[in-house]
Structure 1
Amino acid sequence: MPNPSDKSSLIRQVNDRIAVRMTFIFGSIWCVYAFLVFSLIPLAAPAWQNTLLYISNCIQLVALPALMVGNAVLSQGSDQRAAEDHAALIEILNDVRTEVAALKAVTNDVARKTDEAARHPASEVLSISDEAVINVMDPEHQPPAPAAATSPAKAE
């Protein structure tokens, strides 16, 4: 036994397709041309004016709701895409906030360590590793002063 919700879903899909198709047809330049020619018929056949007016009213009565339904169906897709984009942007924003918080923590840590290093007195002993200790103020470990460059005198 067929499910009634499947039948209503099928009817809704068919109605949506018809409404979208009519929206595309009424929104085309060819429809504009057809209505332009239609509006010029009373100039060629004035006796048909009342009949054409009736037909024109019927077209308007059908076209207006069809255009409204077609636009509503088309906007549903846009609304869904907008909601998906919004969710993705919120997720990206949360990731950026997390990264900014981590960067602030690192920056604050570097600033704190820099402040601590600036408050310590200058050390006279420099340790590169556990084995090598250099006393900065000890003249024995100072590098030798560069010798004065002497050049041989040129004979004239």
Structure 2
Amino acid sequence: MPNPSNKPSLVTYVNDRIAVRMTIIFGSIWCVYAFLVFSLIPLAAPAWQNTLLYISNCIQLVALPALMVGNAVLSRGTDQRAAEDHAALIEILNDVRAEVGELKTVTNDLARKTDEVARRPPSEVLSISDEAVINVTDEAAPAAAPASAPTK
């Protein structure tokens, strides 16, 4: 039964440390080499085969649960990091949703204003600045008749 408090007891702490250490040791290549040499001992000393088989079975009976506990302890940290990452990603997602909502509002407002401007009748006077006013509907004034030409 797990300890409900946040701080593990000394026994739990020591057990977890031993399980993790055993998992690291059994997962190393040096352990593979040691078991390879251990498995070759009966070739050199056939009389020790029954004793070595007993020792081998004992190692397996201890190693399997130790590896399972070690993996469970190591996965606790991974599960906690995954939960923290999930919470951070949900917060980012909510921020993105809020920003997308603001962008939709701005886009809709811009589209509404653009539609209003497009529906307005064209202006006859165009002001580029405060000083210059151009009347778009003025036609060019007709050229004046020459004054020196007599009419008959």
Please give the TM-score of this superposition, normalised by the length of structure 1.
0.79
Q: What residue is the counterpart of 1:41 in the other structure?
A: 41
61-70 vs 129-138, greater mean Cα deviation = 129-138
Cα distance in 2 between the residues matched to 1:64 and 1:43: 26
CA distance, structure 2, for counterparts of residue 53 and residue 77 of structure 1 = 37
Structure 1 unaligned residues grouped into runs of 5+: 143-156
Amino acid across the alignment from 2:103: L
The CA deviation string for residues 71-125 of structure 1, in whole angstroms up to 9 with x for no partner, is 0000000000000000000000000001111111111111111111111111102
Q: Which amino acid aligns with 1:64?
A: L
- The number of aligned residues is 136
The one-character-per-residue Cα deviations of 1:5-43 (angstroms, maximum 9, x if unpaired) are 8x9711100100000000000000000000000000111
- Partners of 1:115 and 1:33 lie apart in 2 by 78
In the alignment, does 2:16 pair up with 1:16? yes
Q: Equivalent residue for 2:146?
A: none
Instruction: Tell me how far apart the structure 1 counterparts of residues 119 and 77 of structure 2 sit (CA, whole Å).
Output: 62
CA RMSD of aligned residues (A): 2.2
1:66 matched to which residue of 2? 66
Q: For residue 78 of structure 2, what is the aligned residue in structure 1?
A: 78
What does residue 53 of structure 1 align with?
53
Q: State how far apart, in whole Å, the 1-side matches of 2:42 and 2:102 are.
A: 76
Deviation at 1:126? 2.6
Instruction: Name the aligned partner's letter for residue 122 of structure 1.
Output: P
- Paired letter, 1:89: L
| 2:16 is aligned with 1:26 | no
Q: Give the counterpart letter for 1:20 in structure 2.
A: V
Residue 148 of structure 2 corresponds to: none
Identity of aligned residues (%): 86
Counterpart amino acid of 2:76? Q
Q: TM-score, normalised by structure 2?
A: 0.81
> Residue 126 of structure 1 aligns to a residue in which SS?
strand
Shift of 1:129: 6.6
Hey, what's the Cα distance between the residues in 2 that align with 1:39 and 1:115?
A: 85
Partners of 2:92 and 2:52 in 1: CA distance: 58
Where in structure 2 are the equivalents of 1:121-132 lying within 5 Å? 121-127=121-127
